[in-house]
Amino acid sequence: MAGGGGGGDGEPEFQVAPMVDVLLVLLVFFMSITSAQVLKVDKNISLPVASHGKKRDDKAAAGLINISWDATTGQAKYKLDDRELDPNDKDGISKELERRKGNNKDFRLLIRADKNCHAKYISKALEWAGEAGIDNIAFSGLNHEE
């Protein structure tokens, strides 16, 4: 007669192998759906506090510009995703942003600027976006002080 797993006293044994299989499948699933944007965020940037900011829940395609502030030189450093940008190459940066946008009308540019960065450096990124025809721009901030 076929019987279920278990000991002689009638209590079933805990099957570990199926649980490990399910956990591995879940791990692979969550790793595959994680946005690539998370990997491109510059951890050295100290974001400003925007206590009344609203979280964006839409999943529009996005470009990411990180603007870090170098206090020793008094200059901003720009990165488009992971690539360092030359702020004097306005045409090249605008063309790259335009290429990434393509025909996607929902394309959004996310700007993450250090809280110590001067507005004139942030306006450069806005100028590049304008030249590329991007009109959907979001700024990243924190809702509380770290």
Domains of the chain: 37-139 (3.30.420)
pLDDT tens for each residue of 15-39 = 888 888 999 988 888 877 665 555 5
pLDDT tens for each residue of 45-104 = 666 776 666 666 655 557 888 899 888 898 899 988 778 899 889 899 999 999 988 888
CA distance 35 to 2: 48
Does this model's pTM top 0.95? My answer is no
